[in-house]
Chains A and B, each alone.
Chain A
Amino acid sequence: MRDVRKRFKEHEVLTGVSLTLRRHEVVCLIGASGSGKSTLLRCANLLERIDGGDIELFGQSLLDPRVDPDRVRRHIGMVFQSFNLFPHLSVIDNILLGPVHALKRPRADVRAEALELLGRIGLAARAEDYPDRLSGGQQQRVAIVRSLAMHPALLLLDEVTSALDPTLVGEVLDLLTDLARQGTTMLVATHEMGFARDVAHRVAFLESGRVIEEGPAKDVLDHPREAATRTFLERVR
């Protein structure tokens, strides 16, 4: 991402953000609410049109008019703060929707794969349940599995534990930690500083729509160079 800008009416939310993610890398976006983390994630998979700058995936500009946003999104998974599972579909059908209807893969193949993924998060037995029968933590893990079933090259996670009871945060963070160990490329907007320190390779601190400070997780979190970063981290602690 290079100098990405985004404005809503007069309000400029992103005022020139540049960020690079390498394969197998986990980058955490930290910053106060309203600093532009969520907007940046939505811009990254073209859910929001950007007003300036450029976004590249696999070295190719996504602003090229020949690019089909739907195809781009099939390579980029996204998990939301409020889960956004489809309430009218069972857990398994939530997971199958993308691979079957966007990737046009045979249902039986994907189903076996989805059950295996559900097994890994210990929810294989709940495959036929509807999302509202699951706890928040279970719903969010299903939402993560739903994006994984697309075999994304990059996973975007938007404050995925912020809507959860404190007791349920752990199970979701554990799953993310596992994914990071397996080499999943992730861009994570988060308020969980512990998770950022333990799992992220790099951390970027956003304020007023720009990256104030960026670097290896431990450096930024333990020895911030910028005064703004220091102030923010002190408030969070």
Chain B
Amino acid sequence: MSSALDGEPVPPDLFASRRQRLLAGRGGLAASAVSGVVVIGGLAAVFWLAPGGATMRYFFFNPPLMWQSFIGDPAKGFYSVGLGLLTNLWIFAVAEALVLVCGMLLASARLSQSPVLFPFRLLATAYTDVFRGIPILLVIFIIGFGLPELNLGTISSQSPAVYGCAALVISYSAYVAEVYRAGVLSIPHGQLLASRSLGLTHATTMRRVILPQAVRTVIPPLLNDLISLQKDTALVSVLGAIETTRAAQIYGSTVFNFSGYTVAALLFLILTVPMTRFTDHLIARDRARRLAGA
């Protein structure tokens, strides 16, 4: 066989460098443990050792005061941050249901083709343009302070939480309508052709062929919007509805300590993290399925 003496070229070096081997491969677990400790420890150190670290911890992470704000004490003039969350929850639940329905109606109007429905198509397009363009906070102000001024019986005599909920529905319907519409437009044109060539009407095609497929692709982005909606229930506090954030604010100005805000933030995390994890799981599963299909 050949050897170096025959003038064969020396085989090239195929090994990764020591440093590369340290950072990847079998050393990977150790490497990620070390980097984890360094990064997270570093951040914790900044937080702990900053000149104002102790003051900051006193005002935001004060365990007894966090507990006090959580259970509340109306006799001392502040509400329970924990109970306040119930308000956020019902606002979210009602708004979610209405947003999913209104968004679907808006999307159907925008996607309609019949000449008779032209005014609805125009209105739906204008609606989504306008309400995606106005900050939600302003919509809440306009509804919350505007409707009571109308002196319109029931409409003008609702609680701030109801107005806040209505404002969220108005804004989020516009976003969700666009998500639905994108889902419908993502279905291949051949599906529409196949269904229409069977003599199915446009409406039946939508209901039996396009929407069932669109809903599947749309679930992850939809859940993203619902997570935002969950958090944005906090904005309703500007109208004076006593929900978590407002309760934390009142606690803060009564006791001169912001630990109530930390509690509110933790409560929101308890709500949103499971939903974010679930959404990511769905996205990963969807991706796996598409890759398997390809």
Binding site for B on A (CB under 8 A): 42, 45, 47, 70-78, 80, 82, 84-88, 97-98, 101-103, 132, 143, 146-147, 150
Q: What's the least CB distance linking B113 to chain A, in Å? A: 12
A87, B217: Cα distance in complex, Å: 13
Is B117 interfacial (CB-CB < 8 Å)?
A: no
| B245 shortest CB reach to chain A, Å | 42
Interface string of B179-201 (1 = CB under 8 A from A): 00000000010110111111111
**Is B279 positioned at the interface, with any CB of A under 8 Å from its CB?**
no
Q: Judge whether B194 and A86 touch: CB under 8 Å.
A: yes
* Chain B proximity of A103: nearest CB distance (Å): 8
A sample of 10 more A-B contacts (CB under 8 A), given A86-B191, A132-B293, A143-B194, is: A45-B197, A70-B196, A73-B198, A74-B198, A80-B194, A82-B190, A85-B194, A88-B213, A102-B201, A147-B197
Please tell me which one of the listed residues B194, B200, B213, B216 contacts residue A101 in the complex, with CB atoms under 8 A apart.
Answer: B200
16 residue pairs of the A-B complex, CB under 8 angstroms, read A42-B193, A45-B197, A47-B196, A73-B197, A80-B190, A84-B190, A86-B191, A88-B213, A97-B195, A98-B198, A98-B200, A101-B204, A102-B198, A102-B199, A103-B199, A143-B194
CA gap between A78 and B198 in the complex, in Å: 8
Q: Do B209 and A86 have beta carbons less than 8 Å apart?
A: yes
Per-residue interface assignment for chain B, residues 194 to 223, with 1 indicating a CB less than 8 Å from any chain A CB and 0 otherwise: 111111110010001100110010000000
Minimal Cβ-Cβ distance residue in B for A132? B293
Q: Tell me which residues across on chain A come within 8 A of B200, comparing CB atoms.
A: 70, 97-98, 101-102
- What are the 4 tightest A-B residue pairs by CB atom distance, in nearest-first order? A74-B199, A98-B198, A84-B194, A78-B197
Count, chain B residues at interface, CB 8 A: 19
Kindly state the separation between the CA atoms of A103 and B198 in the bound complex, as whole angstroms. Answer: 10
If A101-B204, A101-B208 touch, whether A73 touches B196 (CB-CB below 8 Å) is: yes
A82 to B198, CA, bound (A): 16
B194 A73 Cβ-Cβ under 8 A: no
| Most A-side CB within 10 Å, residue of B198, B209, B293 | B198
With the chains together, A75 CA to B197 CA distance in Å?
10
Chain B residues whose CB sits within 8 angstroms of the CB of A102 once the complex forms: 198-201, 204
B212 and A88 contacting across the interface, CB-CB below 8 Å = yes
Q: Are B197 and A47 closer than 8 Å at their CB atoms?
A: yes
The answer to whether B193 touches A97, judged by C-beta atoms less than 8 angstroms apart, is no
The residue on A at minimum CB distance from B194 is A84
Q: How far is the CA of A89 from the CA of B188 in the complex (A)?
A: 15
Cβ contacts under 8 Å, A73 to chain B: 196-199
Q: How far is the CB of B184 from the nearest CB of chain A, in Å?
A: 14
- Kindly report which residue of chain A lies nearest to residue B211, judged by CB atoms: A88
Q: Assuming A47-B193, A102-B204, A132-B293, is B198 touching A87 (CB within 8 A)?
A: no
Chain A residues near B190 (CB-CB < 8 A): 80, 82, 84
Bound CA span A146–B199, Å: 12
Say yes or no: B193 contacts A84, CB within 8 Å: yes
Tell me whether A87 and B213 are in contact (CB under 8 A). yes
Most chain B Cβ neighbours within 10 Å, of A71, A74, A78, A84: A84
Closest to A82 in B: B190
**Cα–Cα distance between A77 and B190 once the two chains are bound (Å):** 15
The CA of A72 and the CA of B212, in the complex, are separated in Å by: 26
Residues of B within 8 Å of A76, CB to CB, are 197
Contacting residues, chain B, for A88 (C-beta < 8 A):
212-213, 216
Q: Are A146 and B198 in contact (CB under 8 A)?
A: yes
A87 → B minimal CB distance (Å): 7
Question: How far apart are A130's CB and chain B's nearest CB, in angstroms?
Answer: 11
What's the nearest-Cβ distance from chain B to residue A124, in Å? 21
- CB of B198 within 8 A of CB of A150, answer yes
| B contact residues around A132 at 8 Å (CB) | 293
A146 / chain B contacts, CB cutoff of 8 Å: 198
